[in-house]
Amino acid sequence: MSRMMAMALLVLVVGACSKSDARHADAAMPAGTAEYTVVLKSTWTSANHPYEYPTAGALTGPHFSGLIGASHEASFMLFAEGATPTAGLENLSEQGKHSPLDAELREAAGRGSVGVLFESGPLRDFGDSLVATVRVDEAHPLVSLVAMIAPSPDWFTGVANVNLWQNGEWVSSRTLTLNAYDSGGDDGGTYKAPDLDTNPKKATMLARTPHFVVNGQTVPVATVTIRKN
């Protein structure tokens, strides 16, 4: 084999390997964007959570605040056990208000760590559901969301870091059970406790009061299904 032919063959082999590596890299990354519908259903009932369950009432009866959440990258954290709550998470968990959590999410979007923010109205009729839509992309394949458990001192439910890109494709659907959390912003210990602001703030933790622990077992307050459109 001549030297020129050997060099041509080497170039051909290297070119083929490069194309193969490129195809492998493309397969490892999410393709474009995907849109999902988020549906939260309550399982927070007097039968499941009998301890001091709130009595019905137009404003003080059991309900969830509106959902607020976002698609995001792995570096972003909406909430986590052991982490001090942001001002936005604290206000959401105590007042059910999306502000300033929405501003925190938009600021994170400006830095590129959050993709799309989504919100819904509150849920007072537990025969209905909270519904929202979220878009994910290759830079923001994770979804996190929260909603206040109301009335309560600073209890909320939600889920963090749901990965919608698995096994080389966008998942068709994911359903998860949601527990109650204590944001760490208020020292109240009952659903209708007076405001007892905590300073310094405590870490967010799974709520382990008798309101959400029955016979030694944590009882979820909701389910969420995230389904690809």
Buried b (16+ CB within 10 A) or exposed e, 180-202: bbbbbbbebeebeeeeeebeebb
Residues 54 and 4 in one domain: no
Domain that holds residue 178: 32-228
Confidence of residue 9 (pLDDT cuts 50, 70, 90): very low
> Hey, is 94 helix, strand or coil?
helix
What pLDDT was estimated at residue 27? 44
Confidence of residue 59 (pLDDT cuts 50, 70, 90): low
Confidence of residue 28 (pLDDT cuts 50, 70, 90): low
Q: Which of 127, 144, 125, 140 is nearest to 67 (CA)?
A: 144
Q: Whole-angstrom Cα distance, residue 157 to residue 208?
A: 13
Residues 157 and 214 in one domain: yes
* Segment 160-169, tens digit of pLDDT: 999 999 999 9
The answer to whether 185 touches 94, Cβ cutoff 8 Å, is: yes
Q: Whole-angstrom Cα distance, residue 211 to residue 92?
A: 20
How many domains, in total, are found in the chain?
2
Q: Whole-angstrom Cα distance, residue 208 to residue 216?
A: 9
Residues 172 and 90 in one domain: yes
Residues 118 and 192 in one domain: yes
Is residue 197 over pLDDT 60?
A: yes
CATH of residue 74:
2.60.40.2130
Share of the chain above pLDDT 90, in %: 76
Q: Whole-angstrom Cα distance, residue 136 to residue 143?
A: 8
